[in-house]
Amino acid sequence: MKIGQILIFIISILIAITYYFIIKNYPELMPTYIQNLQKYFFSNPETPKQQPEYDIIIVGAGLAGLTSAYEANLISNGKLKILLLEQEKKYGGNSIKASSGINILNSPIQEKENIKDSYNLFYNDTIRSGKGKSIPQLVSTLVNDSHDIFNYYTNLGIDLSHVGLLGGHSAARTHRPEKVAVGYHLDSSMFNVVKDIKNIKYQVNSTVIELIYDKDKNEVNGVVYYDSFNKKNVKIYSKCVILTCGGFGHDFESDSLLKEFVPHLMNFPTTNGPQSKGIGMKIARKIGVQLVDMDQVQVHPTAFVNLKNRYEKNKILAAELIRGVGGILINQKGMRFSNELGTRDYVTKRILDNCEKNSNSPIDQYEAFIIINQKCVDIYGPNVYYYINLELLKKYNNFKEFANTFNIPYDKLSETIIKYNKNENGKEDEFGKKVFPMKFDLNEVIYAGIITPSIHYTMGGIKMNNNTEIYNINGQVIKGLFGAGEVTGGVHGGNRLGGNSLLECAVYGRKSAQSAYNLIKKLN
Ligand SMILES: Cc1cc2nc3c(=O)[nH]c(=O)nc-3n(C[C@H](O)[C@H](O)[C@H](O)COP(=O)(O)OP(=O)(O)OC[C@H]3O[C@@H](n4cnc5c(N)ncnc54)[C@H](O)[C@@H]3O)c2cc1C
């Protein structure tokens, strides 16, 4: 054989090997006719498709993910093999930051405190707050199923023994523990339960970057995740995937969803943790999932401005409860400008319209003051010392000292307080406020801080139905894909009521597990 022939022979072998490698591993890179040939020659109808290693993969270990994992194990009597993937080094997400509470209807605590509440009141509050954008069936399930959540969590040793009234609610229904912050308590308690369940594998440093999707069957079969510890991508198959990976309230990346849908908010501060980058929505969108209400982003009226680092973009939330126990809002002129118990979007708008934007700030920071007294502190309970210890709420001996510190005209401020004290419960003041939890004495000790509206919650997300099944852009349910929590859209419409997000994680976290289990039973 001549040398030329040998070379051609070797090159042919190399080309064949390369082609075979690409066809096997990256068939989508080949022209369609080669893909068809490949199916004809290489696929054996007897050979099963890639065997799923897990029954369910859950993406994201916030409250929705932890609840979903727990429920899946519970209802299947430990028969399911579950993988819970978390991109960070630790579980938690935004859930762990929640500080006001979780809404529950007709709980034993409401009963004990003789609080009159009903399905209609709660449903209507949620629909009204959502400004006609919420999907009524999703709200109905949220409210109906909320009742069971009290026993569900308290049976696991979780304390929800205190109840309070938040803005936009017609009844006190927002439950919290006595001594610790609600989000931390729920997340850490659920994690402690989940970590001991042997069928649930919990894995951190694992960012899901792709859904494995069979377009022909409109079916999700697993995920690809980036293992940030070993620095490699891993492909893993499952019968179902549940997305519980939160919202996009901290998405300032180059492919930012905030920039795409609400560019006017890009320069606002945020209360969200850096994990909230909307990866769930982004990977779902790549396989044709329908997104809803993506331009509906909640700006919380009260995030603390930390005077030690005044212009930082990440802010600590001043929980709604501060206003719930009687806190009032004052502007630089010493005047009230809102019903402090109005909905979040209303109070935010009042701040933007009536308070000054800090001209020294590189971010869009509109500043107002929040004020409480010692009685408010006592009603709030030990958690309020978190803010006091960080000096986000600072102690002043009286209103005059506070006014002098911030150059607020004291005559105007004292006039405002005297007028406010004349209000009576049940009678509307000039801003429509009807409930006045606290009166103030100009000479008493007060605690005050600066607050500013900040990006807080993304109402939009992947479109789901009551069973947490996810729709594609053609309105078809995608088999094997479910979602729960902030990654989904449709529950809160144009504005989320405080306390409804943790409830959504609980109700739909459970539902996602039930739906996944039902599907798996059918497959087996
Ligand atoms: C400061 C603050 C206070 C709040 N207070 C309240 C309150 O009192 N009551 C209330 O009802 N709501 C409150 N909320 C809202 C509520 O906490 C959250 O909206 C809700 O808990 C979201 O839960 P989740 O499980 O859907 O997402 P998260 O808790 O955010 O969890 C999502 C998890 O998914 C992980 N993840 C994301 N992408 C990936 C990926 N690609 N691969 C793997 N993992 C991924 C994240 O790291 C994160 O751990 C508050 C929010 C904030 C920011």
Q: What is the CATH number of the domain that holds 278?
A: 3.50.50.60
In a domain, 315, yes or no: yes
* CA neighbor of 469 nearest in space, from 408, 402, 505, 515: 515
Separation of CA 60 and ligand 1 centre (Å):
9
pLDDT of residue 2: 72
pLDDT of residue 47: 42
Say if residue 24's pLDDT is above 90.
no
Residue 198, CB half-sphere, CA atoms under 13 Å: how many? Answer: 3
pLDDT of residue 254: 95
The pTM assigned to this predicted structure is 0.88
| Count of positions (residues) in the chain | 524
In a domain, 187, yes or no: yes
Separation of CA 321 and ligand 1 centre (Å):
19
In a domain, 157, yes or no: no
Cβ-contact 207, 232 below 8 angstroms: no
Residue 46 banded pLDDT, cuts 50, 70, 90: very low
* In a shared domain, residues 330 and 411: yes
Separation of CA 492 and ligand 1 centre (Å):
15
In a domain, 170, yes or no: no
176 is catalytic: no
In the chain, the percentage of residues whose pLDDT exceeds 90 is 86
CATH of the domain at 362: 3.90.700.10
Give CA separation, 80 vs 74, 126, 196, 212, 511, in Å: 9, 35, 15, 20, 16
Residues 306, 522: Cα–Cα separation, whole Å: 54
Q: To which residue do tokens 């009159």 refer?
A: 116
Cβ-contact 373, 447 below 8 angstroms: yes
Residues 97, 188: Cα–Cα separation, whole Å: 11
Q: Give the residue, by CA position, lying nearest to ligand 1 atom 17.
A: 95
Question: 422 or 25, which is more confident?
Answer: 422
Cβ-contact 71, 149 below 8 angstroms: no
* In a shared domain, residues 319 and 392: yes
What DSSP element (H or E) covers 212? strand 206-214
- 206-237 in b/e burial notation, b at 16+ Cβ within 10 A? bbbeebbbeeeebebbbbebbeeeeeeeeebe
Residue 40 banded pLDDT, cuts 50, 70, 90: very low
> What are the phi and psi torsion angles at 235 (to 5°)?
-100, 130
* In a shared domain, residues 351 and 406: yes
Ligand 1 pocket test target in 104, 344, 502 with most atoms within 8 Å of CB: 502
pLDDT of residue 5: 79
- Catalytic position from the list 173, 175, 176, 300: 300
Q: Which of 404, 435, 455 is the last residue of a domain?
A: 455
In a domain, 448, yes or no: yes
Residues 71, 511: Cα–Cα separation, whole Å: 8
Say if residue 44's pLDDT is above 50.
no
Say if residue 308's pLDDT is above 60.
yes
In a domain, 196, yes or no: yes
In a domain, 136, yes or no: no
* Total of domains in the chain: 3
Q: Of ligand 1's atoms, which has the minimum distance to the CA of residue 176?
A: 8
* In a shared domain, residues 71 and 199: yes
* In a shared domain, residues 256 and 198: yes
Separation of CA 487 and ligand 1 centre (Å):
9
Kindly state the tokens that stand for 341: 């118990």
Average pLDDT in the 316-321 region?
Answer: 92
* In a shared domain, residues 382 and 448: yes
* In a shared domain, residues 341 and 277: no
Residue 465, CB half-sphere, CA atoms under 13 Å: how many? Answer: 12
In a domain, 146, yes or no: no
147 is catalytic: no
Question: 251 or 40, which is more confident?
Answer: 251
* In a shared domain, residues 333 and 444: yes
Residue 43 banded pLDDT, cuts 50, 70, 90: very low
DSSP 149-198: HHHHHHTTT----EEE--TT-SS--EEE-SSS-HHHHHHHHHHHHHTT-T
Kindly state the tokens that stand for 316: 């600590």
At residue 248, the 3 state secondary structure works out as coil
Return the ∠ at Cα 71 (arms to 149 and 196), rounded to 5°: 115
Separation of CA 15 and ligand 1 centre (Å):
50
Max distance between CA atoms of the chain, in angstroms, equals: 108
Q: Give the residue, by CA position, lying nearest to ligand 1 atom 15.
A: 501
Q: Which of 410, 438, 455 is the last residue of a domain?
A: 455
Q: Of ligand 1's atoms, which has the minimum distance to the CA of residue 187?
A: 29
Which residues is 396 bridged to in the sheet? Answer: 446
Residue 476 neighbours by CB distance under 10 Å: 13
* In a shared domain, residues 9 and 58: no
Q: Which residues line ligand 1 (CB under 6 A)?
A: 59-65, 85-88, 92-95, 97-102, 182-183, 207-208, 244-246, 271-272, 275-276, 279-280, 317, 457, 485-487, 498-502, 505
Q: Which of 424, 455, 486 is the last residue of a domain?
A: 455
Q: Of ligand 1's atoms, which has the minimum distance to the CA of residue 501?
A: 11
Q: Could you report the per-residue pLDDT of 482-508, keeping only the tens digit for each?
A: 999 999 999 999 999 999 999 999 999
* In a shared domain, residues 480 and 434: no
Residues 419, 429: Cα–Cα separation, whole Å: 10
Residue 381 banded pLDDT, cuts 50, 70, 90: confident
* In a shared domain, residues 215 and 75: yes
* In a shared domain, residues 349 and 484: no
| Domain extent at residue 230 | 54-96+176-296+459-523
